[in-house]
């Protein structure tokens, strides 16, 4: 059992603190994805776990033992780099074997293990090639092979797919998911800025911003119950619509929401605190329902027909913009008036400081 | 060359741009080289005006032997090869070591990098004279240091002793030229991708093994070019020996020998023969190294 535990992990570069105290427990065999915008510290966090950067404060333990002072090789981790980091003058075989030969294993054993890994990654025919004679996807597979062959306890991926083109990315994503199934005991930590990779690969997602953890949870948990405005806006594409709102307790129960002149609706929702504290209402584009008596009367500005679905970019009378997604194509033209309803089960309410008000249906 | 009008126009303009350089090279290098090669087959001398073609007699003849039977020439050849081999080998090893040290980030690295270049920036004659004084048998710093540290029993006449003079010259050359080597190697090191070193760290590969299996193969093309430049330089070395020991036979290189014949003995024909043979040897050695080292000067080696 390989349990990874981060306790108050901090990292400073010179006077600048990049990671502001991260606490996280990762059980054995879990696939964890660190996701966040550029500069959020996700790669730095991965490099702290790998041992490529010194930990400034806090504790990192693997299997219960603190490994802050251990060099990367002794932590039992293997890493796949964004740039593949293959040795350019070595063949695929040598690249995969290079990390193994050190341990004074006999040649036949090295040969057997390299070929075994090459077979699982469909690299057997490429073993004598140099990295520069390979395509991007093949290079990435070699990099993965080099990591697997060492039989690590923890597998680290640093944006492994971002140098690949879109179709190859989808294919490699599938291969990484298969890899995780084949190696159920190996903990995997995967850094990406691509939320599709995060949603599809992760057992749990860690959303980072400015060196802080914003939320940790299963992919659908983040989608359905974002803890704050940042996570709500980051997960999902197109992003969740945010509307400024004034809320008060309605006489008949529920919450009276006012979006500006003439736009008012009562939602059968309850929150823990005072309703007046709610400042923002969030609704995902795919959850807005076009309805003749909907609460939101909008003017269509632009329609994007994508074939299987469509996006309507619209504006509320107050000037706020709204994006709605529906299935199939739509006829509406710019300037058309539409009304959208807010299904109470999909409405998110946020307090002034951005935290979710944890609205529940009555 | 077959090709379109466009190709022919490109070739024409290339020739127009190259012409001044080719002309300058022909005048500045081709002509003197041709003259030297011609004089090598004559009995020309600075003391009388007429000269005549004598074939290979400067190289070999039955009367007085010629260059190929001249003991001083072969001593000069031996000195030159010894000097070239030892100094370039030491400079390569030290240069790589210094470059590796300078490649590691540390405070004040820019200043150290600049400071390392000082020996290379000092004119050879100046550093030769400087070292000549430091190696002086009576007043020299080296003897004084050696005596006070108890390394030497008595002052050594470094430059007068034929056993130590060439070694001293090698030492001065290593001191002077290692920075050049270090700088070329450092430039090559900085071109290397950083991520493969991180991959090696994660895989727990010992730094010494990383150096020999990763760094060295990757900088080999640049290193071979540096070694060839230095080797060519060393094979025609002149200034250091001449400034430190003048025409001393124990340190005389091929270039010093040629100069002595040409200037001191005014024997243009014989001196030119020595210069021509030096040229041929340098050319053959370079071709051999390029072939054996499989170096392509225009690109990476493989």
Per domain, the residue ranges of chain A are 4-225, 241-361
**Nearest CA of chain B to the CA of A279: how many Å?**
46
- Assess A79–B contact: CB distance below 8 Å, yes or no: yes
**Nearest CA of chain B to the CA of A263: how many Å?**
56
Of A52, A84, A99, the CB nearest to B203: A99
What count of other Cβ atoms lies within 10 Å of the Cβ of residue B299?
8
- Assess A146–B contact: CB distance below 8 Å, yes or no: yes
CA B95/CA B101 separation, integer angstroms: 10
CA A311/CA A343 separation, integer angstroms: 18
Are B224 and B148 found together in one domain? yes
Query: What CATH class is the domain A4-225?
Result: alpha beta
Residues of A with CB below 8 A from B196's CB? 85-88
**Nearest CA of chain B to the CA of A72: how many Å?**
5
H or E segment to which residue A293 belongs = none
Whether A102 and B204 lie within 8 Å, measured CB to CB: yes
Of A78, A85, A89, the CB nearest to B217: A89
Are B21 and B147 found together in one domain? no
pLDDT of A118 above 60: yes
pLDDT of B299 above 60: no
List b or e across B86-105, with b for residues whose CB sees 16 or more CB atoms inside 10 angstroms: bbbebbbebbbebbbebeee
Residue carrying the six token digits 């500005």? A301
A130-163 pLDDT, tens per residue? Answer: 999 999 889 999 999 999 898 888 999 999 998 8
Mean pLDDT value across chain A = 90
Structure tokens at B26: 């022909």
Tell me the C-alpha to C-alpha distance, in Å, between residue A307 and each of A285, A303, A310, A323, A328. Answer: 17, 12, 7, 17, 6
Chain B interface residues facing chain A, Cβ-Cβ under 8 Å? 193, 195-196, 198-206, 209, 213-214, 217-218, 302
- Assess A15–B contact: CB distance below 8 Å, yes or no: no
Structure tokens at A314: 């619209």
pLDDT at A89: 92
| Residue A190 DSSP class | E
Vertex B234, ends B215 and B290: CA angle to 5°?
55
Mean pLDDT value across chain B = 87
Of A52, A81, A87, the CB nearest to B214: A87
**Nearest CA of chain B to the CA of A87: how many Å?**
6
B120-142 pLDDT, tens per residue? Answer: 989 988 998 899 889 888 888 88
CA A219/CA A190 separation, integer angstroms: 14
pLDDT at A330: 85
Q: Percent of chain B scored above 90 by pLDDT? A: 37
Residues of A with CB below 8 A from B214's CB? 87, 89
Are B93 and B20 found together in one domain? no
- Assess A268–B contact: CB distance below 8 Å, yes or no: no
Contacts across the A-B interface (CB distance below 8 Å): 59
Judge whether B53 lies within some domain: no
Residues of B with CB below 8 A from A84's CB? 195
Lowest mean pLDDT among A296-300, B66-70, B114-118, B216-220: B66-70
Sequence-separated contacts (24+) of B47-52 with Cβ below 8 Å? B47/B266, B51/B268, B51/B269
Kindly state the average pLDDT of the residues A220-231: 94
Judge whether B241 lies within some domain: yes
A181-203 pLDDT, tens per residue? Answer: 998 889 999 999 988 999 999 99
pLDDT of A241 above 90: yes
Judge whether B34 lies within some domain: no
pLDDT at B294: 67
Whether B204 and A51 lie within 8 Å, measured CB to CB: no
Q: Is there a contact between A253 and A247 (Cβ–Cβ < 8 Å)?
A: no
Which CATH number among 2.40.50.140, 3.40.50.620, 2.40.50.100, 3.30.160.20 corresponds to the domain A241-361?
2.40.50.140
Tell which residue, B251, B24, B213, has the closest CA to residue A88.
Answer: B213
pLDDT at A156: 94
Judge whether B138 lies within some domain: yes
Whether B203 and A89 lie within 8 Å, measured CB to CB: no
Nearest CA in chain B to A72: B202
If pLDDT is split at 50, 70 and 90, which confidence band does A102 have? Answer: low
If pLDDT is split at 50, 70 and 90, which confidence band does B45 have? Answer: confident
Whether A77 and B218 lie within 8 Å, measured CB to CB: no
Predicted TM-score of the model (pTM): 0.79
Whether B203 and A102 lie within 8 Å, measured CB to CB: yes
Whether A85 and B198 lie within 8 Å, measured CB to CB: yes
- Residue A178: CB partners within 8 Å, gap ≥ 6? none
pLDDT of B301 above 50: no
Are B226 and B157 found together in one domain? yes
Are B3 and B145 found together in one domain? no
CATH number of residue B215's parent domain: 1.10.3720.10
pLDDT at B172: 92
Are B141 and B278 found together in one domain? yes
Q: Is there a contact between A339 and A293 (Cβ–Cβ < 8 Å)?
A: yes
Whether B199 and A83 lie within 8 Å, measured CB to CB: no
Beta bridge partners of A4: A26, A62
Identify from B107, B196, B202, B223 which residue to disrupt to test chain A contact, counting A C-beta atoms within 10 A and taking the largest count.
B202
- Assess A70–B contact: CB distance below 8 Å, yes or no: no
pLDDT of B202 above 60: yes
Residue carrying the six token digits 């929702």? A269
Tell me the C-alpha to C-alpha distance, in Å, between residue A302 and each of A22, A144, A314, A330, B130. Answer: 42, 44, 7, 11, 82
Q: Is A117 helix (H, G, I), strand (E, B) or coil?
A: helix
pLDDT at A253: 82
Number of domains in chain B: 2
pLDDT at A329: 86
Helix A92-101 to helix A107-120 angle (10° resolution) is: 130
Of A50, A77, A102, the CB nearest to B205: A102
Judge whether B38 lies within some domain: no
If pLDDT is split at 50, 70 and 90, which confidence band does B302 have? Answer: very low
Lowest mean pLDDT among A7-11, A48-52, A326-330, B87-91: A326-330
Nearest CA in chain A to B194: A85
**Nearest CA of chain B to the CA of A99: how many Å?**
5
Domain range holding B4?
Answer: 1-29
Are B18 and B105 found together in one domain? no
What count of other Cβ atoms lies within 10 Å of the Cβ of residue B145?
12
Q: Is A135 helix (H, G, I), strand (E, B) or coil?
A: coil
Judge whether B267 lies within some domain: no
Tell which residue, A54, A61, A57, A97, has the closest CA to residue A76.
Answer: A61
Whether A98 and B213 lie within 8 Å, measured CB to CB: yes
Residues of A with CB below 8 A from B213's CB? 98
Of B195, B204, B206, the CB nearest to A81: B195
Q: Is there a contact between A225 and A356 (Cβ–Cβ < 8 Å)?
A: yes
């Amino acid at each position: 059992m390989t349990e990874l535990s981060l306790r108050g992990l901090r990292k400073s570069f010179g006077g600048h603190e990049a990671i502001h105290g991260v606490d996280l427990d990762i059980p054995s065999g879990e696939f964890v994805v660190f996701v966040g915008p550029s500069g959020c510290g996700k790669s730095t966090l991965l490099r702290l776990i790998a041992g490529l950067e010194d930990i400034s404060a806090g504790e990192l333990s693997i299997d219960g033992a603190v490994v802050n002072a251990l060099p990367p090789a002794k932590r039992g981790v293997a890493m796949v780099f964004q740039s593949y980091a293959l040795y350019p003058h070595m063949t695929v075989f040598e690249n995969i074997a290079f990390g193994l030969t050190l341990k004074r294993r006999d040649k036949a054993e090295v040969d057997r293990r390299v070929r075994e890994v090459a077979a699982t990654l469909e690299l057997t025919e490429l073993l004598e090639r140099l990295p520069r004679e390979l395509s991007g996807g093949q290079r990435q597979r070699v990099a993965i092979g080099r990591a697997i062959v060492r039989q690590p306890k923890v597998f680290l991926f640093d944006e492994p797919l971002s140098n690949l083109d879109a179709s190859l990315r989808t294919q490699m994503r599938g291969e990484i998911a298969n890899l995780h199934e084949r190696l159920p005991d190996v903990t995997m930590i995967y850094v990406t800025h691509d939320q599709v990779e995060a949603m599809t690969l992760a057992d749990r997602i860690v959303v980072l911003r400015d060196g802080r953890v914003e939320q940790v949870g299963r992919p659908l948990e983040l989608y359905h119950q974002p803890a704050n405005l940042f996570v709500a806006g980051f997960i999902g594409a197109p992003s969740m619509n945010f509307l400024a709102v004034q809320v008060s307790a309605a006489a008949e129960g529920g919450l009276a929401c006012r979006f500006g002149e003439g736009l008012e609706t009562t939602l059968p929702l309850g929150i823990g605190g005072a309703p007046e504290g709610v400042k923002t209402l969030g609704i995902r584009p795919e959850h807005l329902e076009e309805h003749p008596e909907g609460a939101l009367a909008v003017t269509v500005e632009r329609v994007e027909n994508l074939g299987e679905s469509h996006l309507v970019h619209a504006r509320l009378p107050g000037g706020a913009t709204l994006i709605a997604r529906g299935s199939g194509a739509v006829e509406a033209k710019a300037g058309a008036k539409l009304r959208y309803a807010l299904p109470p089960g999909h409405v998110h309410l946020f307090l002034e400081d951005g935290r979710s008000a944890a609205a529940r249906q009555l | 060359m077959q090709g379109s009008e466009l190709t022919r126009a490109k070739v024409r303009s290339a020739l127009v741009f190259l012409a001044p350089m080719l002309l300058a090279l022909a005048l500045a290098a081709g002509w003197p080289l041709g003259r030297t090669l011609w004089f090598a087959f004559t009995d020309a001398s600075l003391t009388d005006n007429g000269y005549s073609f004598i074939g290979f007699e400067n190289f070999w003849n039955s009367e007085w032997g010629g260059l190929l039977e001249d003991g001083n020439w072969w001593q000069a050849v031996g000195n030159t090869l010894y000097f070239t081999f030892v100094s370039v080998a030491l400079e390569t090893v030290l240069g790589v070591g210094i470059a590796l040290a300078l490649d590691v980030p540390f405070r004040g690295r820019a200043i150290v990098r600049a400071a390392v270049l000082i020996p290379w920036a000092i004119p050879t004659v100046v550093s030769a004279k400087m070292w000549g004084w430091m190696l002086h048998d009576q007043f020299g710093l080296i003897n004084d240091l050696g005596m006070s540290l108890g390394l030497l029993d008595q002052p050594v006449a470094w430059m007068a002793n034929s056993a130590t003079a060439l070694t001293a010259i090698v030492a001065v050359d290593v001191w002077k030229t290692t920075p050049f080597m270090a700088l070329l190697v450092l430039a090559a090191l900085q071109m290397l991708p950083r991520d493969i070193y991180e991959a090696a760290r994660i895989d727990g590969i010992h730094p010494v093994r990383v150096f020999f299996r990763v760094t060295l193969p990757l900088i080999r093309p640049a290193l071979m070019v540096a070694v060839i430049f230095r080797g060519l330089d060393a094979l025609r070395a002149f200034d250091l020996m001449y400034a430190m020991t003048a025409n001393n036979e124990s340190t005389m290189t091929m270039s010093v020998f040629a100069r002595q014949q040409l200037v001191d003995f005014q024997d243009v024909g014989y001196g030119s023969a020595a210069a021509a043979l030096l040229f041929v040897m340098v050319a053959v050695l370079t071709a051999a190294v390029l072939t054996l080292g499989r170096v392509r000067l225009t690109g990476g080696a493989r």
